[in-house]
Amino acid sequence: MAEYLEQLLTRINDGYLKQAENEKDALLAASRDEAAAIINQAKEEAGKILEDTAAEAEAVRARYAEDLKRASRDSVRELRGELQRLLLAAVGKNATEAMTPAFMADIIQRMSETALQDNGRTVSILTNTRNVEALRKLIPGTIRTEIKAGEFKGGLQVSFDDSGEYFDFSENAVYNFFREHLGRELNKILDENP
């Protein structure tokens, strides 16, 4: 009977061992399948994260490129404005300095030579108060002139035969002429060399 019990125990042990071996194999197979599924899911999630990150990086690059363009445009606009301001300041200062009594007398003389063919015509001049006496001294006696003080800082206005129409060489007229002309030229230069 001991032998029978021993055989029975061996069969039971073999049965349990086979069952344990089968369960072990099933658990290993299930673990492998689950691990493969986790790996596949991780790969998919990593791919999605990489795609999202690449899209976000591209959006950031595009935003930075647009910001750079805007900053460049703003810098050029500010530079253009500053150059215009400096140019206008220089023109204003030089227009005032250039309109000396001697220069104005030369303008009057040249205009008179052309406009006053007969001696009966008169030149009417408006200038600022500080230049009236200096112009009277500088204009030759052969030109009949009437010099009055005008309501402006510098320069002069010239009219022939009291027509009421003046050639405007006032500080503001000269300033505006050069401001427009030089402003256009500056814009051409800046537009040609972006």
Residue 194 pLDDT exceeds 60 = no
Torsion over CA: 160, 162, 164, 168 (sign): positive
Q: Tell me what percent of the residues of the chain surpass a pLDDT of 70.
A: 90
Closest CA to 173 of 190, 186, 156: 156
pTM tops 0.75, yes or no:
no
Of residues 33 and 188, the one with the higher pLDDT is 33
As a whole number, mean pLDDT of residues 25-39 equals 90
pLDDT band at 5 (very low <50, low <70, confident <90, very high): low
> Directed axis angle between helix 2-98 and helix 171-192, to 10°?
150
pLDDT digit string (tens) for 78-105?
888 888 888 878 877 777 777 888 888 8
pLDDT (tens digit, 9 = 90+) per residue, 124-151?
888 888 888 888 888 877 676 778 887 7
